[in-house]
Structure 1
C-alpha cells in the first residue's frame, strides 16, 4: 500500500504532521527560482534524465558473498585485513562546509572533544559542521530553514519514492537546490569515482520534474516481508518460510504459534504505521507496489485491487483467531522488537536492515536457541509471492545552490563519504580512530571502545554513502541469511511505476487522503468496522483526490520516454 513502505523510516503518522509543517515553507517558493519549475506541474520519469554512468571500482576487496549490479549487497564475513586508501591525499585543501541530517542515536561529542570527527576532517581536508537533528524534529527544522533561508550546503531529504515532505517540491528544488543534471549526468560523474560506483537503480530514485536533484544514500532495494523466529516456526512444524505453501497453511501455522498461556503470539505490531503488519500480507497476496500499470499506461491503485481486498479479508481472519499480541497495536516499535527478540512474538514487520548483529546478540542472550531470520513472501495461492522495491534508498541528499566551483567542492565531500567498504576512509567514518575508538580483533574486525560508541555517532552516513554491504562480524550465519534473502527479494521486487513521477495532488494531499483509508483499514482488521466501510473509504479517497492523482501520474507516465 501507500503507507508503511512508501513513507520512509519516520512513519506514516508522523508524516501527516511533517507535511503540514512544511506546507507553508514550500508554498512560499512557488514564484521563486528560474521559472521553469513553475510551469511544470508533473514529474517526468528518470528515463528522461541522463543519469550518472555506472562505473564500478576495480580495486575493491573480494566479497565472501558476491553482490550484483541490480542491487543485491555483497556479503563480507570480516573487514579486509589491509584496507586500501581511497585517497592518496585529502581531496580538499581547506574550507568550511555545512550539512544537516537526522540523528537516531545519542548525540556524539562535539568536534573539539571528538577525535573521530577531527580525523575525518583531516583526511578530507576541510571542516564540515553537521547540524544533527533528533529524528522526530527533523522536518520541523527543515521547514524553518526553508521558510527563513540559511540552508546548509548538504541537506538530507527522505521523501524520495514516497509522499513528498515538502509542499510544491519542484518549485522548492528549482528555487533553492542545485540541479545536478549537467554537473554529474553521464560520464561527468567519473570525476567522483565513488559516486560513480553507485548503480543506476539508486540514481533513478533521485529525479524530480525530469531533473536530477539528489545524491542517493543506497539501501538494499527491498526491505522484505518482515522477520521471523525460525526456532519457533520449527517448533510449530515449519522449518522455513519455504515450507509454507499457501495462505491456508499460513493461517494454520499462525494459530499454532499462538499460545496465550505461554505469553506467546504469532504476530506483534506497533502504532507507528505498521497497520497490523500489513506489508507482510500485501506481498503474500501479490498486491502491486502502490500502483499497477497496464499496457495502455492506465494506473490502478493498490487499495483498489482484488489482491488488496483478499489480503485485508485474510488479516481479519488472523485477528479474529487471536494471533496478534493483545494491545500491540499501541506499542512503540522498540517494544515490538523486544517482544520478537524475547520470543513473545514469532513474526513482525520490520525492515531487513533491522536484523543486525546487536539484535541477533540480544536474542541469543535471552535464548541461545533463538534464530532470527528474514521472511521472504510466498504466494497466497501457491508459488512465489511478490516483494517490493521499497527500500531502494534510505534518503537523498540535496545540495544548496552555489557557483560551480563551490558545488564541485561539495561533491568532493560526498565522494569522500561514499568511499566503500574495505577502505581506510570507510573504517574511519564508520568506527573512528583506531586505539581511541576501536581495536581490531583476531579477524581484523573493529571492536568499538566505550568512547568509540559515542564518537562514531557523527552522522556522516546520512550525508552520503556507498552501496550497502552485508557485514555482521562474528555472526556468519546472519550474513548468510541476509545475503540469501536479498538474493531472493531483489529479483522478485516490484517497482512502483510512479516512483520517479510527481503529482501535485499527491504531494499536497497524499498523506491526509491515505490516512483516512488507513484509519478505516485498522478498524476493519480490529473488528470495529465492516469490509463495506473499507469500500466506502476507497470511494471517498477517489473522489477527494485519488482520481486526480491517478490522472496526473498517467499524464507524466505517458510523457516519459520508454526504455
Structure 2
C-alpha cells in the first residue's frame, strides 16, 4: 500500500537488471547476492549450485473470498473493488505470553509507541506476544543493521532488504536459522499463511543450500515506470503500446520537451533506463543462449538502449541534472507536471501519496498511468520478473522451540487479505484507527494514519492483491497493467542460483559499469567507454561469475 518501500526495494534489487543504474543508487540486482538465490548443499558457502537442491515449502492456494477480478496462474494478482466480509484466521492467539524482538526499516515518520498505540496493543493481544521493534529510517537501515550484527546480540527477526552485509552466506551460516527442517515440504503447512506464498517467491529465499529466508512477497514485475497520459495525449499518444518504433518515440519525447514552459519529457534518478531496456528487449540481467550465459551488458540490445538514451539526452529530453535527483525530487517533479515520464516501481502507484493521486491533485485533469512498453522495431517488447519480493526475513539462530514461536508470529503477520487479522495489521482498531463505510471498506482516521506506521509488513507479509475502494479506475488500470506486463515477462535465468564471486564482488563490478553508463548518457564520456567498461567487468571477475553460474545451471 505504501509508495516508497516497494519501489525503493525494487530499485535496489533491480539496479543491475535495469542496465547499470536505472532507478536508484545502492541497488542489489544479481551482482550483489543474486536475488538471494540458492547455493550448494551443506554449509559450504563457496560451493556453486542451485536452489533446486533445497526442499522448498509446499505451497497451498488460499481459499479466501472471491475477488472481483481473479488472479491468474502466471502471477497476475487478484483484484477487489471492496473489502470482503472479514474472516477470522485465528480464533485464539497462536502464542501465549511470549516476547519477540525485531529490527526493520520504516518509511516516513516514526509511529506512536506501544503505550499510545491501540493498534499495536491489539495486535499483540491477538498474537499473544509482545513484539519489540527497532524501527530504523530506510536511509540509515544498512548502517544500523550492520552495527547490530557487529554487536553480536541479534533480534529474533531481521529484515534483509538488499542492504550490504559483508559475506552474507557466512553470516547466514554462523548466525541465522536454517529454516529447511521447519518449513521444507509439507512441514510448512503448520504455518498455513506462510504456506500460501507461491513457490516462485520461495525460490528467492535460499542460500548456501538451505532455506534461510521468509519473503516479503510482491507482484512479480516492477513495471516500466509511469507517464502523464494527459500530456502524452496532447501530442497524439493515447496508448503507449501503439507507438510504432523507437524513432517515433524519440519524436514524441521531443514534442513533450518544452523547456520554456519548464517541462521535459524525461527526468528520473540515474536516468531511469528500465523502460528503454524493455523497449529494446534487453535481457533480464543474463540471457541463456544454448547453455551459455550472456550478460546483459554484452548484448546488442543493451548497447542499442544506451545509444537511444544518448540521443534523447543530446536532444534535451531530460531535465538537466535529473540523473542525480533523490527519489523525492523525482516524485515532486512528476507531480508538478515538470516531467512527463519517470521510472519508478509499480507499487509507487498506490496509496494517498502514490502517483495515481498526487498528479491530479496538483494538476486537475492530469492522469498518471503505468507505462506499457512497445517494441523498438515494431516487434514485442520485453518485461522482467524483477519485483518478486520487497525483501527477506532472517531469523536468529535458536533452538527449535524458539524458532517455532517466532515462525508462529510470522505466520500471524502474514494473514492474507480478507481476514480480520489483515484488517487489524493494516488499518488498526475499528473506531480508534478506522471506520467502515456502507460497503465494509475501512477508512483511516487521523490517528489511524499514525498508528499504522508500525512496520508490521516488513516483519512478514502475505501475497499482495490490487485493492482500492475509493477508485474503481485505479483497480482497473493497475490490474490491467499487471495483466499485460506479467504474462510473458522474462526471469533472470540465474535467479535461483548462487555464485560466490558474484556474492563477493558483483556489486563493485557492476557499480563501475553503472557509473560509466551514467557518464555516457550525460555526455561526459564517449560511447566507446562502455566497451572498455564491459572488458574490465569481464576481466575483473565477470567471466568467473559467468563460469560459476554455468556450473550451477548444469546441476539443475
Same fold (TM over 0.5): yes
Counterpart CA distance in 2 for 1:357 and 1:77 is: 15
Tell me which of 108, 112, 117 is aligned to 1:114: 117
Q: Does 1:551 align with 2:543?
A: no
Tell me which of 288, 292, 313 is aligned to 2:287: 292
Counterpart CA distance in 2 for 1:208 and 1:433 is: 38
Which residue number in structure 1 is paired with residue 56 of structure 2? 51
Query: Residues 391-406 of structure 1 correspond to what in structure 2 (within 5 A)?
Result: 391-406=387-402
Counterpart CA distance in 2 for 1:93 and 1:173 is: 29
Root mean square deviation of aligned Cα: 2.0
Counterpart CA distance in 2 for 1:338 and 1:240 is: 24
Cα deviation for residue 381 of structure 1 reads 1.1
Does structure 1 conserve the Cα–Cα contact (< 8 Å) formed by 2:19 and 2:302? no
Counterpart CA distance in 2 for 1:51 and 1:99 is: 24
Tell me which of 436, 439, 442 is aligned to 1:443: 439
Which residue number in structure 2 is paired with residue 374 of structure 1? 370
Could you list the per-position Cα deviations for residues 264-317 of structure 1 after superposition, in whole angstroms to 9, with x for gaps in the alignment?
Answer: 1111112xxxx3111111111111111111232x21111111110000001111
Does structure 1 conserve the Cα–Cα contact (< 8 Å) formed by 2:19 and 2:273? no
Could you list the per-position Cα deviations for residues 379-426 of structure 1 after superposition, in whole angstroms to 9, with x for gaps in the alignment?
Answer: 111122111111000001111111111111111111101111111100
Moved more, 525-534 or 140-149: 140-149
Counterpart CA distance in 2 for 1:544 and 1:558 is: 24
Q: Secondary structure at the match of 1:538?
A: helix
Counterpart CA distance in 2 for 1:524 and 1:158 is: 30
Distance 1:372 1:67, change over 3 A: same
Q: Secondary structure at the match of 2:216?
A: strand
Q: Does 1:70 align with 2:74?
A: yes
Distance 1:52 1:5, change over 3 A: farther
Which residue number in structure 2 is paired with residue 210 of structure 1? 209
Which residue number in structure 1 is paired with residue 138 of structure 2? 135
Counterpart CA distance in 2 for 1:2 and 1:362 is: 26
TM-score normalised per structure 1: 0.91
Query: Residues 330-341 of structure 1 correspond to what in structure 2 (within 5 A)?
Result: 330-341=324-335
Could you list the per-position Cα deviations for residues 445-477 of structure 1 after superposition, in whole angstroms to 9, with x for gaps in the alignment?
Answer: 221111111110111000000001111221111
Q: Secondary structure at the match of 1:122?
A: helix
Does structure 2 conserve the Cα–Cα contact (< 8 Å) formed by 1:71 and 1:201? no
Does structure 2 conserve the Cα–Cα contact (< 8 Å) formed by 1:57 and 1:193? no
Could you list the per-position Cα deviations for residues 197-237 of structure 1 after superposition, in whole angstroms to 9, with x for gaps in the alignment?
Answer: 11111101101122111111100100111111111111110
Counterpart CA distance in 2 for 1:6 and 1:137 is: 26
Q: Does 1:504 align with 2:519?
A: no
Which residue number in structure 2 is paired with residue 324 of structure 1? 318
TM-score normalised per structure 2: 0.92
Which residue number in structure 2 is paired with residue 264 of structure 1? 263
Could you list the per-position Cα deviations for residues 351-391 of structure 1 after superposition, in whole angstroms to 9, with x for gaps in the alignment?
Answer: 01001142322222222211111112211111221111110
Cα deviation for residue 14 of structure 1 reads 7.4
Q: Secondary structure at the match of 2:373?
A: coil
Does structure 2 conserve the Cα–Cα contact (< 8 Å) formed by 1:304 and 1:538? yes
Counterpart CA distance in 1 for 2:264 and 2:391 is: 34
Distance 1:463 1:423, change over 3 A: same
Which residue number in structure 1 is paired with residue 11 of structure 2? none
Counterpart CA distance in 2 for 1:42 and 1:138 is: 30
Q: How many residues align?
A: 531
Could you list the per-position Cα deviations for residues 169-219 of structure 1 after superposition, in whole angstroms to 9, with x for gaps in the alignment?
Answer: 222111111111121111111111111111111101101122111111100
Q: Secondary structure at the match of 1:249?
A: helix
Does structure 1 conserve the Cα–Cα contact (< 8 Å) formed by 2:22 and 2:271? no
Counterpart CA distance in 2 for 1:8 and 1:144 is: 27
Which residue number in structure 2 is paired with residue 92 of structure 1? 95
Counterpart CA distance in 2 for 1:387 and 1:118 is: 43
Counterpart CA distance in 2 for 1:191 and 1:14 is: 35
Distance 1:422 1:9, change over 3 A: farther
Which residue number in structure 1 is paired with residue 107 of structure 2? 104
Q: Secondary structure at the match of 1:393?
A: strand
Cα deviation for residue 518 of structure 1 reads 1.3
Counterpart CA distance in 2 for 1:96 and 1:232 is: 54
Does structure 1 conserve the Cα–Cα contact (< 8 Å) formed by 2:23 and 2:274? no
Distance 1:550 1:213, change over 3 A: same
Counterpart CA distance in 2 for 1:541 and 1:120 is: 49
Distance 1:337 1:72, change over 3 A: same
Counterpart CA distance in 2 for 1:70 and 1:198 is: 14
Query: Residues 172-251 of structure 1 correspond to what in structure 2 (within 5 A)?
Result: 172-251=171-250
Which residue number in structure 1 is paired with residue 25 of structure 2? 12
Does structure 2 conserve the Cα–Cα contact (< 8 Å) formed by 1:84 and 1:423? yes
Which residue number in structure 1 is paired with residue 350 of structure 2? 356
Q: Secondary structure at the match of 1:195?
A: helix
Cα deviation for residue 262 of structure 1 reads 1.7
Counterpart CA distance in 1 for 2:69 and 2:23 is: 31
Query: Residues 379-528 of structure 1 correspond to what in structure 2 (within 5 A)?
Result: 379-528=375-524
Which residue number in structure 2 is paired with residue 61 of structure 1? 65
- For structure 2, the residue ranges without an aligned partner over 5 or more in a row are 1-13, 33-40
Q: Secondary structure at the match of 1:388?
A: coil
Counterpart CA distance in 2 for 1:498 and 1:445 is: 42
Distance 1:125 1:77, change over 3 A: same
Could you list the per-position Cα deviations for residues 63-111 of structure 1 after superposition, in whole angstroms to 9, with x for gaps in the alignment?
Answer: 111112432111111112x211011111111210111111112111111
